[in-house]
Homo-oligomer: A and B are copies of this chain.
Amino acid sequence: MMIHSWRRSGDFIRSACKSLSSFRQKHNSMSPSVSGFVNRYESKGKTFESNAGKGRNTELLDHHHHHHHPCLGGRNMWTMQQYKSFGSSSASKVQRNPLFSSLEPKDVSYFKEILGEKHVVEDEERLETANTDWMHKYRGSSKLMLLPKNTEEVSQILKYCDSRSLAVVPQGGNTGLVGGSVPVFDEVIINVGLMNKVLSFDEVSGVLVCEAGCILENLAAFLDTKGFVMPLDLGAKGSCHIGGNVSTNAGGLRLIRYGSLHGTVLGLEAVTANGNVLDMLGTLRKDNTGYDLKHLFIGSEGSLGIVTKVSILTQPKMSSVNLAFIACKDFLSCQKLLVEAKRNLGEILSAFEFLDNNSMDLVLNHLDGVRNPVSSSENFYILIETTGSGETYDREKLEAFLLKSLEQGLVSDGVIAQDINQASSFWRIREGITEALQKAGACYKYDLSLPVEEIYNIVNDLRGRLDGLANVMGYGHLGDGNLHLNISAAEYNDKLLGLIEPYVYEWTSKHRGSISAEHGLGVMKANEIFYSKSPETVALMVSLKKLLDPKGILNPYKVLPHSFFSP
């Protein structure tokens, strides 16, 4: 019966893959006409979908704001009650550090002198936008945004701010999810958006050097003309800056294939709190001359320095892409399938995503025009994408792998996308989960890294613990060990939250997981760091922070527990 089901799909496979690689090629050349497929890249790993080139997802944000969705709320965010809704009650306790100065007219005059009038922003409307994160969840009250045009200006700004004890928040595309890129109080905003030049590209080595304010999608478009791709891709690509990507160690789509930014970033230029410019802008794959300092700035969320330039290893663009949608009867089969996929698809495997049946049902119930690509309902679904340079070979390899997996009983059904619409409809299921969750009511969201074999245990344990009080769903980047754990309920309530937290954090900690796989800590989880890091390592982080930024002016109240920096 299962084999029969597959065989039908198997027959379908034969003719199914022809045009996928050709439209992927179209996608790679940024054709606006394949927007359905572009969306798949736009929204991956992010909370909301977006459209390429539309800036900060304004459409969706407006939509959500308009409807006063409980996940987003209104604009009066900085209250205890609001924080509790997001499981970050501790963050509401943060107090402005009284050792920081307040902005004075002489400061503004000085900045106008060094940057020019038009790069010193006091306009309320523009500040309103810069003070608010893109989910409208965090909001500061800064009265000043500075727009430096080069490293020297960033250096001058920081040197002055340090001497005056003026706190600052570095800002790029402001697409973060943990409140890391907006002020908490009145910090001066330093937005590097004007520093957006490509400085060099080496077609032999594939090394790109650019300024921090380059928008990820623009870099991708530039590279596309050279036949290369960025080693990272993520939903916010139309807005996020490479400097912000580096500062937050963004994960995204291609991590399973090209690894993290700690491996692909070859060099950085960064400015520390006192205005010192650190030239670590190497373009070499191998350089063992002293401590590799750039890693301090990758993922430290702008709290140790402002990244001003980036050197990154890019990859040749591949012509062949295939996508399969697969059903599995249990999580152990999903695990085994991952092991086999790594072994058999090996060098062409480019994505391995999963969702459970609860997630599938939610999508089917709340999104229009979505159907289950496999004939019968199953407990788990897997998306496998391959990217390679051999069109026929890659396709045959994926087919052979799936047929073998079916014979071994790992897979109960499956289908390979035959064209762009089908591929898009497969990704729509995986990526529509967030949208469906929002339509379903209140939602508690967690972004966890766990050992792959533990990933579904926390879902089952929490399901048992909540005992029908809410709908618990698990999905995410299984190939990277990254679970998106979501709890959907009719409305927010304290009893439910009390059952979820700190249980989820404690469970994650007990299994040596990470409470933030790819989003960072920001202001949202700064005080929760001990769930994932030992006291000794946090103490060393604090020492490093104090070494590089003695007055603590760089992105205060973020990343590290507030208690360490209270006067």
A: which residues have CB within 8 A of B? 202-207, 227, 248-249, 251, 255, 259-260, 262-264, 276-280, 282-293, 295-296, 298-300, 304, 316, 318, 335, 338-339, 342-348, 388-390, 393, 397, 449-453, 477, 480-482, 512-521, 525, 529, 531-534, 536-538, 540-541, 543-544, 547-548, 559-560
Cβ contact within 8 Å between B290 and A521 = yes
Decide: A449 near B521, CB < 8 A? Known: A318-B346, A342-B316, A346-B388. no
Decide: A480 near B347, CB < 8 A? Known: A339-B203, A544-B547. no
In the A-B complex, the 10 residue pairs with the closest CB atoms: A263-B263, A295-B295, A347-B347, A287-B514, A289-B532, A286-B517, A284-B449, A316-B343, A346-B389, A259-B263
- Residues of B near A248 (CB, < 8 A) are 288
CA gap between A451 and B285 in the complex, in Å: 9
Cβ contact within 8 Å between A521 and B288 = yes
Instruction: State the oligomeric state as a number of copies.
Output: 2
- Residues of B near A397 (CB, < 8 A) are 390
Cβ contact within 8 Å between A286 and B480 = yes
Decide: A517 near B249, CB < 8 A? Known: A292-B262, A388-B347, A452-B204. no
CA gap between A490 and B291 in the complex, in Å: 37
Cβ contact within 8 Å between A260 and B284 = no
Q: Which residue of B lies closest to A338 (CB)?
A: B204
Set B205, B342, B451, B480: member contacting A452, Cβ < 8 A: B205
CA gap between A414 and B342 in the complex, in Å: 33
Set B276, B282, B316, B335: member contacting A536, Cβ < 8 A: B276
Decide: A537 near B249, CB < 8 A? Known: A285-B481, A286-B482. no
Report the minimum CB–CB distance from A347 to chain B (whole Å). Answer: 4
Report the minimum CB–CB distance from A141 to chain B (whole Å). Answer: 26
CA gap between A517 and B289 in the complex, in Å: 8
- Residues of B near A537 (CB, < 8 A) are 278-280, 290, 293
Q: Which of A248, A285, A451, A516 neighbours the largest number of chain B CB atoms within 10 Å of its CB?
A: A285
Q: Beyond A202-B453, A290-B538, A291-B299, list 18 extra A-B contacts (CB 8 Å).
A: A204-B338, A204-B339, A204-B453, A206-B342, A249-B292, A259-B264, A262-B263, A282-B512, A283-B512, A284-B517, A285-B480, A285-B482, A286-B482, A286-B514, A288-B520, A289-B531, A290-B560, A540-B548
- Residues of B near A282 (CB, < 8 A) are 512, 514
Cβ contact within 8 Å between B278 and A304 = no
CA gap between A539 and B329 in the complex, in Å: 58
Question: Could you list some 17 contacts between A and B, CB below 8 A?
Answer: A204-B451, A205-B452, A279-B536, A285-B449, A285-B481, A286-B477, A286-B480, A288-B299, A288-B517, A289-B525, A290-B529, A290-B559, A295-B296, A344-B389, A347-B389, A390-B397, A543-B547
Q: Which of A264, A338, A390 neighbours the largest number of chain B CB atoms within 10 Å of its CB?
A: A390
- Residues of B near A300 (CB, < 8 A) are 290-291
Report the minimum CB–CB distance from A544 to chain B (whole Å). Answer: 6
Cβ contact within 8 Å between B481 and A286 = yes
Q: Which residue of B lies closest to A256 (CB)?
A: B285
- Residues of B near A204 (CB, < 8 A) are 335, 338-339, 451-453
Cβ contact within 8 Å between B260 and A285 = yes
- Residues of B near A477 (CB, < 8 A) are 286
Q: Which residue of B lies closest to A531 (CB)?
A: B289
CA gap between A449 and B255 in the complex, in Å: 26
- Residues of B near A532 (CB, < 8 A) are 287, 289-290
CA gap between A156 and B15 in the complex, in Å: 67
Report the minimum CB–CB distance from A175 to chain B (whole Å). Answer: 15
Cβ contact within 8 Å between A514 and B289 = yes
- Residues of B near A316 (CB, < 8 A) are 342-343, 346
Report the minimum CB–CB distance from A34 to chain B (whole Å). Answer: 23
Cβ contact within 8 Å between A534 and B278 = yes
CA gap between A304 and B540 in the complex, in Å: 12
Cβ contact within 8 Å between A517 and B452 = no
CA gap between A195 and B537 in the complex, in Å: 23
Cβ contact within 8 Å between B347 and A516 = no
- Residues of B near A518 (CB, < 8 A) are 286, 288
Decide: A540 near B293, CB < 8 A? Known: A338-B204, A347-B389, A389-B344. yes
